[in-house]
Chains A and B, each alone.
Chain A
Amino acid sequence: METTREGIVCNNLDQMDVVFDRTEVLHDTPTSYCPGCSHSVVHRLIMEVIEELGILGDTIGVAPVGCSVFAYHFMNVDMQQAAHGRATAVATGIKRVLPDKIVYTYQGDGDLAAIGTAETIHTINRGENIVMIFINNGIYGMTGGQMAPTTLEGDVTSTTPHGRDTLIQGHAIKITEMAAIMDGAYYVTRQAVNSAKTVRKCKKAIKQAFQNQIDGKIGTNFVEVVSNCPSGWKMTPIEANKKIDEQVLDYYPLGDLKTPPKGA
């Protein structure tokens, strides 16, 4: 009888095939995310992609302010922690002086689509050759469940106790659609991770985004991941993933919003 790294007791472990393992690009530490949170899934997908593409020695990530402020404790790549909203400006600084390196940002909706909107728009407009991963969970998780720019109409948060009223708080922002109309964008897609099927598709999209940068395609690669926040939404993870299917994806439909022209 042996004990695995995760502490599960198994019989005859040495006779078993390993069919799934943590990528070495993830730190061997529990994340600080709540049970069922999409962050952990997306972290793993990005790290797997970095490992599979063999770019660990060339990759620099930028962490935002938000729940993923400590992303560098989980993602075992060189990282810089940016001021709230400024991740893409930091990434621009890195990529401009080291154009051969692979640079990505990992940002939530408050960071990317509220306080950092100007940086987001102008980074994409300049066509910075970076990957932007946009975690859209429709709420401010880290500060305790306040309204995000992407909170859906009618949703209750701690700062919209009567539900988001578009006449007062405006509309859930469609920043990915904005990204897609900009000439500087190379690849813009919206994905989710609320089911095995969407997780597989999402990983493919993230991999494509990084591959585009590796290939030196000119322009920004933007991957939105429609995510859950069970704690902030006050739901079980299963209920939260169901809400994504039943409500969120109506407003934020999945799919590619901009793909490179054929042959590009």
Chain B
Amino acid sequence: MGKKLLMKGNEALAEAAIRAGVKGYFGYPITPQSELLEYMATNLDSRGGVFLQAESEVAAINMVYGASGTGTRVMTSTSSPGFSLMQEGISYMACAELPCLLVNVVRGGPGLGTIQPSQGDYFQAVKGGGHGDYKLIVLAPNSVQEMADLVYLGFDLTDKYRNPVLILADGALGQMMESVEFPEYNVEEHFVDHSSWTTVGRENGREQHYITSLHLLSEKMEEINVHLQDKYKKIQENETRFESIQTEDADILIVAFGLSSRSSQKALELAREQGLKVGILRPITLFPFPSDELKHLANSVKGILVVEMNAGQMVEDVRLAVGSNVPVDFYGRMGGMIPQPDEIVDKIKDLYKQVKI
């Protein structure tokens, strides 16, 4: 580990990406992620990469597509409305199996919404987002340190699976400062050879490579879909990541990701002070979702409270995982509001009454 630095989440993410060997960044300004773009503009060119401000998010994602097709480590970042604009391009990349790192520093919607933090893009992130059957690998940091750490993981996973990886952050994680240490990361050791499929010119007359997501024959298109689904299954089996906090003796399990997991952690401390046995399961990968761990915990806890900064999105995946084995309650704030720890504690107490512990 290097020395500690005080950085905004957006800056830490950008710095980590440069250290992870990103060679192309294409983006468009939007609050609350613009520091990321600006950090790249200031630093990437002098450290061996290419920065370009695109004319739109639509152009940016397609620049990423082009650069990725050459086997270059490449990324973009945006915030919610911009992420919606990128969906078409992301769907194409998912089908053409192009690696890239995407970052959505989520703000409150729908519409132009607010620039304040939100988790309202959960469905869009984990259920595909654009047209067709596809999935992104979705990583959800909950601190400035993880804004950096998950970048390295993200690049490794996108190269390993040839699947776009999304870091789903939010406005608060992007804007807040915490101390961060950048781990040692040897880019060459993590290098993945993509030369069997990249489009860089038919050097020495080798056979043609082309990148496409168009397969008009249904039989062929189904074959590609089956291949993608097999890949997602493999990812589900091998790449699920989560953090458990005091779940061993918990009566009530909070499930929360990203910033709301931080509020929940404070709520856990307050609740434990009052003798309430609360634990937290924090998914770090939203796809793949830690369904098996949830199923397992549903055997020991008496109630589950899902805390989100939206109207209730991840709660659907929690209910899918645990079925009717245990009551699942939800607490959410919307439109840029953040669930406060004391509000969560009140909700925990309600749930305690409900499950009659």
Contacts and interface: CB of A to CB of B under 8 A. Distances in A.
Contact flag (A, B; Cβ within 8 A): yes
Contacts of B59: 86, 89, 92, 118-119, 122
A94 interface: yes
Interface stretch (A13-21, A52-60, A164-172, A243-251): A52-60
Interface string B184-202: 0000000000000001111
B23 interface: yes
Contact of B212 (A55, A81, A91): A81
A97 B56 contact: no
A63 B23 CA distance: 24
A112 interface: no
Nearest to B55: A122
Contacts of B209: 78
Given A79-B211, A122-B55, A59 B62 contact: no
Contacts of B63: 89-90, 92-93, 96
Interface stretch (A69-77, A174-182, A218-226, A255-263): A69-77
A32 to B, nearest CB: 10
| B-side interface mostly | mixed
Contacts of B58: 86, 89, 118-119
A211 interface: no
Contacts of A207: none
A94 B63 CA distance: 7
Nearest to B68: A93
A80 B66 contact: yes
A60 B202 CA distance: 9
A238 interface: no
Given A80-B211, A83-B89, A92 B199 contact: no
B26 interface: yes
A80 B24 contact: no
Contacts of B211: 79-81
Contact of B210 (A58, A79, A89): A79
A76 B70 CA distance: 17
B64 A93 contact: yes
Contacts of B204: 57
Contacts of B203: 57-58
Contacts of B56: 118
B50 interface: yes
A90 B58 CA distance: 11
A62 interface: yes
B72 interface: yes
Contact of B55 (A80, A82, A83, A118): A118
B201 A93 contact: no
A91 B66 contact: yes
Contacts of A77: 201-202, 208
Contacts of A9: none
A93 B74 contact: yes
Nearest to A84: B88
A129 to B, nearest CB: 13
A57 B67 contact: no
Interface residues of A, number: 34
A34 interface: no
A93 B24 contact: yes
B92 interface: yes
Contacts of B354: none
B62 A94 contact: no
A94 B208 contact: no
Interface in B211-262: 211-214
Given A57-B201, A59-B201, A94 B214 contact: no
Contacts of B24: 93, 96-97
B89 A80 contact: no
**Among the interface residues B50, B70, B205, B213, which one has the most CB atoms of the partner chain A within 10 A?**
B70
B67 A94 contact: yes
A172 B26 CA distance: 33
B177 interface: no
B202 A98 contact: no
A44 interface: no
Interface in B27-83: 50, 52, 54-56, 58-60, 62-70, 72, 74
A101 interface: yes
B199 A80 contact: yes
A80 B54 contact: no
Contact of A97 (B70, B208, B210, B214): B70
B68 to A, nearest CB: 8
Contacts of A89: 54, 58-60, 62-63, 65-66
Contacts of B62: 82-83, 86, 89-90, 93, 119
A60 B201 contact: yes
Contacts of B212: 63, 72, 80-81
A94 B66 contact: yes
Contacts of B72: 97-98
Contacts of A58: 201, 203
**List of 9 A-B pairs having minimum Cβ-Cβ separation, nearest first:** A93-B66, A90-B66, A93-B63, A89-B62, A93-B67, A86-B62, A81-B212, A78-B199, A122-B55
6 contacts: A56-B205, A58-B203, A78-B199, A79-B199, A94-B66, A96-B67
